[in-house]
Amino acid sequence: MKLSDASDRFLTYLAVERGLAASTLEAYGRDLAVLVELLADPDIAEVSPSRLRAYIQQLEKRGQAARTRARALSAVSQLLAFLRAEKLLDHDPLADITRPRQGRRIPKVLSQQEVEALLHAPDESPLGMRDRAILEVLYAAGLRVSELVHMTLSNLHLETHSCKVEGKGRRERLAFLGVPAVEHLRRYLEEVRPRWVDDDGRGRVFVSSRNPGLSRQAVWYRIQYYAKQIGIARKLTPHVLRHSFATHLLEGGADLRVVQEMLGHADIGTTEIYTHVSRKRLHELVDGRHPRGAT
265 tagged catalytic: yes
Annotation marks residue 168 as catalytic: yes
Catalytic residue, candidates 71, 173, 239, 281: 239
Burial class (CB in 10 A: 0-12, 13-18, 19+), 100: middle
Task: Mark whether 290 is an active-site residue.
Answer: no
Of these residues, 69, 242, 243, 248, which one is catalytic?
Answer: 242
Q: For residues 261 and 272, what is the distance between their CA atoms, to the nearest angstrom?
A: 12
Query: Among the options 28, 55, 188, 274, which is catalytic?
Result: 274
Distance in angstroms (rounded) separating the CA atoms of residues 245 and 249: 6
Query: Are 138 and 241 within 8 A, CB to CB?
Result: yes
Check if the beta carbon of residue 73 is closer than 8 Å to that of residue 99: yes
Is 248 known to be catalytic?
A: no
Integer CA distances (angstroms), 83 to 14, 120, 234, in order: 13, 52, 43
Tell me 43's DSSP state. B
234 is known as an active-site residue:
no
Given the residues 168, 173, 187, 281, the one annotated as active site: 168
DSSP state of 154: G
Residue 71 appears among annotated catalytic residues: no
Check 132, 144, 184, 193 and give the catalytic one: 144
Question: What pairs with residue 174 in β-bridges?
Answer: 164
State the catalytic residue, choosing from 67, 164, 187, 265: 265
- By annotation, the residues acting in catalysis are 144, 168, 239, 242, 265, 274
